[in-house]
Amino acid sequence: PGERPPLVFIGNLPNKEQEKKAAPYILLKLLTKKVDDEENVCRVRIICVTFSEDKNENYMQCLNLVTKIETSLLEDVVIDEHYSCQKPIETIIYDENMELYQVGELMTIWELPQIHRDVRRYLE
């Protein structure tokens, strides 16, 4: 067997029951988005959740998952020919007692394609 790859969800988990069955999983949440004349960026929280009855093993699984994601984001400079993860990437592994779950997260900043406005067509 081996490790099951984490499921990925955007925004929220489908339901509360899924939360217990899905681990390991990754949850992507948009925090903020800023569009102006100079930049088009957003901040995305990448939440990683692992499950194990062994606390030390669980901590290491979560740390490894967070580290793999961080390494991939820094190695693949441009994703899908449009999106670029910027530095810094902030990482935290939570210390709270969550029974059999371990939670870590990455705070990321993404540069998005700039939107060019064509106001000339409205001035004619």
What is the CB-side half-sphere exposure of residue 23 using CA atoms within 13 A?
18
pLDDT for position 19? 67
Size (the chain), residues = 124
Residue 16 forms part of a structural domain: yes
**Could you identify the residue written with the tokens 């955007």?**
10
pLDDT for position 2? 58
pLDDT for position 108? 96
Residue 1 forms part of a structural domain: no
Mean pLDDT, each 10-residue run in order, the chain (124 residues)? 80 76 90 91 96 90 95 89 93 83 95 82 73
**CA neighbor of 105 nearest in space, from 27, 30, 35:** 27
Residue 90 forms part of a structural domain: no
Q: Which domain holds residue 61?
A: 7-83+100-123
Residue 109 forms part of a structural domain: yes
The whole model's pTM is what? 0.84
Residue 78 forms part of a structural domain: yes
Residue 11 forms part of a structural domain: yes
- Counted domains in the chain: 1
